Amino acid sequence: MENSKLMDQEEHQQEETNLLTRRYFLEIVGGGAIGVAAVGSMVLTAQFLSPNVLLEPSLKFKAGSVENFPPASVTLNKEQKVFIVRAREGYFYALSAVCPHLGCIANWKGEEGIIACPCHGSKFDQEGRVLGGPAPRSLVRFSLLLDEQKQLIVDKGLVVGEDVILKV
């Protein structure tokens, strides 16, 4: 009888130990899951609150000083793909050198007095108007300003009308 009581007590203790071990395990797993969920939601909240901005380089550039461009000249800035045109009368404007057909870079043909695209033969006059070829429209004209140091500033982010010129 005494022996049986002792065995019951041992079994009871063993069950309690198993229960504690299981409880401890479940607490650890549960706590870990909550921790992972909390970190995940904090990361998502931080992403949501931070501005979703794509930083791009400025579309403005210095084209050079006025004296660098003689009257009746068309100068290609290869790096920026922009023509700086100075008319015979002395005023300026900036034309995109990107052909509106399929995007090749056009060249100034001084001997013919035209801007020509080497890819499919589009031709433009000095004002950027289409003279021939597959180009569907004129060359884009960009904003052109003069800063305090008499430097020409082109803004490729600002398209202007075909009649906009810069008088100096």
Q: Is 135 in the site for ligand FES (CB under 6 A)?
A: yes
Residue 87 or 104: the one with the smaller Cβ distance to ligand FES is 104
Q: Say which residue the tokens 């569907």 belong to.
A: 136
Residue 19 or 102: the one with the smaller Cβ distance to ligand FES is 102
**Is 103 strand, coil or helix?**
coil
Residue 104 or 146: the one with the smaller Cβ distance to ligand FES is 104
Q: Is 97 in the site for ligand FES (CB under 6 A)?
A: no
Beta bridge partners of 107: 116
Name residue 139's amino acid.
L
Query: Which of 62, 112, 69, 59 minimizes the C-alpha distance to 91?
Result: 69
| The only residue of 76, 104, 145, 146 in contact with ligand FES, by rule CB under 6 A | 104
How many Cα atoms occupy the beta-carbon half-sphere of 83 within 13 Å? 29
Residue 29, both tokens:
């797993």
**What is the x/- site pattern for ligand FES, positions 38-67, by CB under 6 A?**
------------------------------
| Site of interaction with ligand FES (CB under 6 A) | 99, 101-104, 117, 119-122, 133-135
